[in-house]
Amino acid sequence: MSRLAPVAKPTRPRIRAGGRSAVVRERVARACLELLAEGHGDFGPLDVARRSGVSRATVYRWWPTKADLLKEALEAHTRQLRISDSGDWGDDLRAVVASFAKFFEDPIEVSQNALMASGAYPEYNAAVLEHYESIFATWRELFERARERGEVRADVDADATLLVAGSALLLVPLLFRRKVTRRELDQIVEIVWRGTCSEG
């Protein structure tokens, strides 16, 4: 008896990194972020086409699902986040805190965090958490390298440390509608550094 060949899953067309494709991607990502910032968590490809000025055919061809659109938007939005390893835990911690502070005070990010906190769009919340996992993984790697160098205590958890540092940076713009001050940034860095650094 002959066996039917498996049906190949449809694949998204490959999007070139530069040129016209880059412009289209930027316009689509910006449209998605603007819609989210306005509280429209239930947007679809047609809404994005109208907002971005990109043809519906192009949007549906390159981003056939809302999940594809969310991924494009989140990749563009989080590109400004920087987690780099200079080889010095204190310097790296200060750089990460400064990068996250600037990111969380972005008006679009503030609106998106408010949208997530509302719990109105579970699909969006899930997409954000999935996307951020790669960023969290980079942080954990940085943390572990500092631990291997003997700069971070063996009993301190990387995720808990990020929660301590990140919560204030996120909540101040979200709840108090202002930027974290330089003095507050310095104090956050000092508190986290003292709580994590090895006494040796």
Residue 1, pLDDT score = 38
Q: Which fold has domain 19-76?
A: Arc Repressor Mutant, subunit A (1.10.10)
Average pLDDT (7-14) is: 46
Average pLDDT (161-189) is: 96
Which CATH number among 1.10.230.10, 1.10.357.10, 1.10.10.10, 3.30.70.1060 corresponds to the domain 81-196? 1.10.357.10
Choice between 96 and 80, residue whose per-residue pLDDT is larger? 96
Q: Where are the domains of the chain?
A: 19-76, 81-196
pLDDT in tens, 14-52: 554 444 589 999 999 999 999 998 988 889 999 999 999
pTM to 2 decimal places? 0.82
Environment class of 89 (CB within 10 Å of its CB; exposed 0-12, middle 13-18, buried 19+): buried
pLDDT in tens, 52-78: 999 999 999 999 998 899 999 999 999
Identify whether the C-beta of residue 162 lies closer than 8 Å to the C-beta of residue 136.
yes
